[in-house]
Amino acid sequence: MSRPDSETTERIRRHVECLAGGIGERNVFRPAALSAAREYIAAEWRQQGYQVCQQWYEVAGQSCANLEAARPGSTWPKQILVVGAHYDTVRGSPGADDNASGVAALLEISRLFAVVVPRVAVRFVAFVNEEAPFFPFFLNEQEVLLVAKEQVTRVETAAPEGDSAGDMPDGAMAVEIMLIDGSTISGFVPLEKRGEQTRLLDFLNGYVRRFIPVFWGEQVCLVNRCLIASVSQLT
Protein backbone atom coordinates (compact mmCIF):
# COMPACT_ATOMS: atom_id res chain seq x y z
CA MET A 1 0.00 0.00 0.00
CA SER A 2 1.38 3.41 -0.96
CA ARG A 3 1.86 6.10 1.67
CA PRO A 4 -1.08 8.28 0.49
CA ASP A 5 -3.36 5.22 0.54
CA SER A 6 -2.21 4.19 4.00
CA GLU A 7 -2.74 7.73 5.30
CA THR A 8 -6.28 7.77 3.89
CA THR A 9 -6.97 4.40 5.47
CA GLU A 10 -5.72 5.65 8.82
CA ARG A 11 -7.86 8.79 8.63
CA ILE A 12 -10.95 6.70 7.79
CA ARG A 13 -10.23 4.52 10.80
CA ARG A 14 -9.83 7.59 12.99
CA HIS A 15 -13.15 9.06 11.80
CA VAL A 16 -15.02 5.84 12.58
CA GLU A 17 -13.35 5.45 15.96
CA CYS A 18 -14.16 9.03 16.92
CA LEU A 19 -17.80 8.92 15.80
CA ALA A 20 -18.69 5.39 16.92
CA GLY A 21 -16.22 4.90 19.76
CA GLY A 22 -15.66 8.37 21.16
CA ILE A 23 -19.10 9.89 20.58
CA GLY A 24 -21.22 6.76 20.27
CA GLU A 25 -24.98 6.69 19.82
CA ARG A 26 -26.03 10.04 18.32
CA ASN A 27 -29.61 11.12 17.68
CA VAL A 28 -32.14 13.63 19.03
CA PHE A 29 -32.60 11.43 22.09
CA ARG A 30 -28.90 12.07 22.83
CA PRO A 31 -28.58 15.68 21.66
CA ALA A 32 -25.10 16.30 23.11
CA ALA A 33 -23.69 13.38 21.13
CA LEU A 34 -25.52 14.47 17.98
CA SER A 35 -24.08 17.96 18.40
CA ALA A 36 -20.59 16.54 18.92
CA ALA A 37 -20.85 14.58 15.67
CA ARG A 38 -22.02 17.68 13.82
CA GLU A 39 -19.14 19.75 15.18
CA TYR A 40 -16.64 17.01 14.32
CA ILE A 41 -17.75 16.94 10.67
CA ALA A 42 -17.81 20.73 10.40
CA ALA A 43 -14.33 21.01 11.91
CA GLU A 44 -12.94 18.45 9.47
CA TRP A 45 -14.36 20.34 6.50
CA ARG A 46 -13.06 23.67 7.73
CA GLN A 47 -9.63 22.10 8.16
CA GLN A 48 -9.84 20.98 4.54
CA GLY A 49 -10.49 24.59 3.49
CA TYR A 50 -14.25 24.49 2.97
CA GLN A 51 -16.87 26.95 4.13
CA VAL A 52 -19.53 24.97 5.94
CA CYS A 53 -23.20 25.80 5.43
CA GLN A 54 -25.47 24.63 8.26
CA GLN A 55 -29.17 24.18 7.49
CA TRP A 56 -30.93 24.37 10.86
CA TYR A 57 -34.35 23.06 11.81
CA GLU A 58 -36.05 21.79 14.95
CA VAL A 59 -37.15 18.23 15.70
CA ALA A 60 -38.68 17.06 18.99
CA GLY A 61 -37.57 20.29 20.64
CA GLN A 62 -33.95 19.81 19.52
CA SER A 63 -32.06 21.99 17.05
CA CYS A 64 -30.62 19.89 14.22
CA ALA A 65 -28.61 20.78 11.15
CA ASN A 66 -27.70 19.35 7.80
CA LEU A 67 -24.15 20.33 6.81
CA GLU A 68 -22.93 21.23 3.35
CA ALA A 69 -19.52 21.93 1.84
CA ALA A 70 -19.20 22.72 -1.86
CA ARG A 71 -16.76 22.93 -4.75
CA PRO A 72 -17.76 25.03 -7.79
CA GLY A 73 -17.70 23.52 -11.26
CA SER A 74 -15.24 24.92 -13.79
CA THR A 75 -16.91 23.77 -17.00
CA TRP A 76 -20.52 22.98 -16.10
CA PRO A 77 -21.17 24.96 -12.91
CA LYS A 78 -24.94 24.41 -13.04
CA GLN A 79 -24.54 20.65 -13.05
CA ILE A 80 -24.33 19.46 -9.47
CA LEU A 81 -23.00 16.19 -8.12
CA VAL A 82 -24.18 15.47 -4.56
CA VAL A 83 -22.16 13.20 -2.28
CA GLY A 84 -23.87 12.56 1.02
CA ALA A 85 -24.03 10.51 4.21
CA HIS A 86 -26.18 10.70 7.32
CA TYR A 87 -24.49 11.13 10.68
CA ASP A 88 -27.24 10.08 13.10
CA THR A 89 -27.69 6.54 14.43
CA VAL A 90 -30.55 4.31 15.49
CA ARG A 91 -31.23 4.18 19.21
CA GLY A 92 -29.00 1.84 21.17
CA SER A 93 -26.23 1.64 18.56
CA PRO A 94 -22.84 3.40 18.25
CA GLY A 95 -23.40 3.34 14.49
CA ALA A 96 -19.97 2.26 13.25
CA ASP A 97 -21.28 0.70 10.04
CA ASP A 98 -24.46 2.79 9.95
CA ASN A 99 -23.22 5.30 9.42
CA ALA A 100 -19.81 6.38 10.76
CA SER A 101 -18.20 4.49 7.88
CA GLY A 102 -20.27 6.48 5.38
CA VAL A 103 -19.33 9.77 7.05
CA ALA A 104 -15.67 8.74 7.04
CA ALA A 105 -15.85 8.07 3.31
CA LEU A 106 -17.62 11.41 2.77
CA LEU A 107 -14.89 13.29 4.64
CA GLU A 108 -12.08 11.62 2.72
CA ILE A 109 -13.75 12.11 -0.67
CA SER A 110 -14.17 15.81 0.13
CA ARG A 111 -10.48 15.94 1.12
CA LEU A 112 -9.50 14.63 -2.32
CA PHE A 113 -11.75 17.13 -4.08
CA ALA A 114 -10.34 20.03 -2.05
CA VAL A 115 -7.14 19.98 -4.13
CA VAL A 116 -8.70 19.59 -7.59
CA VAL A 117 -10.95 21.72 -9.78
CA PRO A 118 -13.98 19.64 -10.77
CA ARG A 119 -15.73 20.27 -14.06
CA VAL A 120 -19.15 20.07 -12.41
CA ALA A 121 -20.17 21.52 -9.08
CA VAL A 122 -19.84 19.09 -6.18
CA ARG A 123 -21.78 19.38 -2.94
CA PHE A 124 -20.84 17.30 0.06
CA VAL A 125 -23.77 16.87 2.43
CA ALA A 126 -23.84 15.39 5.93
CA PHE A 127 -27.49 15.09 6.81
CA VAL A 128 -29.21 14.24 10.04
CA ASN A 129 -32.31 12.30 11.12
CA GLU A 130 -32.19 9.67 8.40
CA GLU A 131 -32.96 6.91 10.85
CA ALA A 132 -36.47 5.96 11.97
CA PRO A 133 -38.77 7.53 12.87
CA PHE A 134 -37.68 10.45 10.72
CA PHE A 135 -38.26 9.18 7.19
CA PRO A 136 -41.40 10.31 5.30
CA PHE A 137 -44.51 8.13 5.47
CA PHE A 138 -46.72 7.98 2.38
CA LEU A 139 -50.47 7.41 2.61
CA ASN A 140 -52.99 7.81 -0.23
CA GLU A 141 -50.38 9.65 -2.33
CA GLN A 142 -50.09 12.29 0.42
CA GLU A 143 -46.78 12.62 2.20
CA VAL A 144 -46.98 12.92 5.96
CA LEU A 145 -43.75 14.28 7.41
CA LEU A 146 -42.93 12.74 10.76
CA VAL A 147 -42.12 14.96 13.70
CA ALA A 148 -40.27 12.72 16.08
CA LYS A 149 -41.55 11.54 19.44
CA GLU A 150 -40.23 8.60 21.36
CA GLN A 151 -43.28 6.41 20.90
CA VAL A 152 -45.69 7.85 18.36
CA THR A 153 -45.94 10.82 16.06
CA ARG A 154 -49.03 12.92 15.57
CA VAL A 155 -49.61 15.26 12.65
CA GLU A 156 -52.61 17.07 11.20
CA THR A 157 -54.03 15.53 8.07
CA ALA A 158 -57.38 14.90 6.40
CA ALA A 159 -59.52 12.13 7.85
CA PRO A 160 -59.99 9.24 5.41
CA GLU A 161 -63.77 9.41 5.55
CA GLY A 162 -66.27 10.37 8.24
CA ASP A 163 -66.39 13.54 10.30
CA SER A 164 -65.63 12.11 13.70
CA ALA A 165 -63.92 9.22 15.40
CA GLY A 166 -67.36 7.75 16.07
CA ASP A 167 -67.95 7.19 12.34
CA MET A 168 -66.50 3.99 10.88
CA PRO A 169 -64.77 4.92 7.60
CA ASP A 170 -65.26 2.52 4.71
CA GLY A 171 -62.45 -0.02 4.47
CA ALA A 172 -61.27 0.59 8.05
CA MET A 173 -61.25 -1.36 11.30
CA ALA A 174 -61.67 0.05 14.81
CA VAL A 175 -58.75 -1.01 17.02
CA GLU A 176 -57.17 -0.37 20.39
CA ILE A 177 -53.37 -0.47 20.43
CA MET A 178 -51.47 -0.98 23.66
CA LEU A 179 -47.86 0.22 23.67
CA ILE A 180 -45.10 -1.42 25.63
CA ASP A 181 -45.22 1.39 28.21
CA GLY A 182 -48.85 0.54 28.99
CA SER A 183 -50.48 3.49 27.22
CA THR A 184 -53.24 2.89 24.67
CA ILE A 185 -54.33 4.44 21.38
CA SER A 186 -57.79 3.88 19.85
CA GLY A 187 -58.91 4.68 16.33
CA PHE A 188 -59.31 3.24 12.85
CA VAL A 189 -56.68 1.49 10.71
CA PRO A 190 -57.21 1.48 6.92
CA LEU A 191 -57.56 -2.01 5.46
CA GLU A 192 -57.64 -3.61 2.07
CA LYS A 193 -60.51 -6.08 2.16
CA ARG A 194 -59.95 -9.63 0.98
CA GLY A 195 -63.34 -10.95 0.03
CA GLU A 196 -66.10 -9.98 2.44
CA GLN A 197 -63.90 -9.50 5.51
CA THR A 198 -60.33 -8.95 6.57
CA ARG A 199 -59.24 -10.37 9.90
CA LEU A 200 -57.10 -8.17 12.14
CA LEU A 201 -54.45 -10.88 12.36
CA ASP A 202 -54.23 -11.07 8.55
CA PHE A 203 -53.78 -7.31 8.39
CA LEU A 204 -51.01 -7.21 10.99
CA ASN A 205 -49.17 -10.22 9.56
CA GLY A 206 -49.21 -8.74 6.09
CA TYR A 207 -48.29 -5.18 7.08
CA VAL A 208 -44.68 -4.43 6.17
CA ARG A 209 -44.29 -0.72 6.94
CA ARG A 210 -42.64 0.35 10.17
CA PHE A 211 -45.50 2.66 11.18
CA ILE A 212 -49.20 1.84 11.38
CA PRO A 213 -51.54 4.81 10.75
CA VAL A 214 -54.41 5.12 13.23
CA PHE A 215 -57.11 7.67 12.39
CA TRP A 216 -59.58 9.49 14.57
CA GLY A 217 -61.42 12.62 13.49
CA GLU A 218 -58.95 14.81 11.61
CA GLN A 219 -55.95 13.34 13.39
CA VAL A 220 -53.66 10.54 12.38
CA CYS A 221 -51.28 8.84 14.77
CA LEU A 222 -48.33 6.94 13.27
CA VAL A 223 -47.49 4.11 15.63
CA ASN A 224 -44.08 2.46 15.59
CA ARG A 225 -44.68 -1.30 15.33
CA CYS A 226 -41.62 -2.00 17.49
CA LEU A 227 -43.35 -0.29 20.42
CA ILE A 228 -46.66 -2.19 20.19
CA ALA A 229 -47.48 -4.70 22.92
CA SER A 230 -50.89 -5.78 21.62
CA VAL A 231 -53.67 -4.84 19.20
CA SER A 232 -57.34 -5.54 19.82
CA GLN A 233 -60.23 -5.16 17.42
CA LEU A 234 -63.09 -3.03 18.75
CA THR A 235 -66.68 -3.85 17.96
Domains of the chain and CATH, by start? 3-127 (3.40.630.10), 137-233 (no CATH)
Burial string for 203-227 (b: 16+ CB within 10 Å, else e) reads beeeeeeebbbbbbeeebbbbbeee
Radius of gyration in angstroms for the set of CA atoms belonging to the chain, rounded to a whole number: 23
Task: Reply yes or no on whether the pLDDT at 143 is more than 50.
Answer: no
Tell me the mean pLDDT in the region 14-30. Answer: 95
Q: 29: pLDDT confidence band, cut at 50, 70 and 90?
A: confident
At 69 the pLDDT is: 97
Express as a percent the part of the chain with pLDDT over 70: 69
Tell me the mean pLDDT in the region 184-211. Answer: 61
| Lowest model confidence (mean pLDDT) among 26-30, 55-59, 224-228 | 224-228
Tell me the mean pLDDT in the region 56-75. Answer: 89
* End-to-end Cα, the chain, rounded Å: 69
Burial string for 106-123 (b: 16+ CB within 10 Å, else e) reads bbbebbebeeeebeebbe
| Lowest model confidence (mean pLDDT) among 103-117, 143-157, 173-187 | 143-157
φ, ψ for residue 176 (rounded to 5)? -125, 125
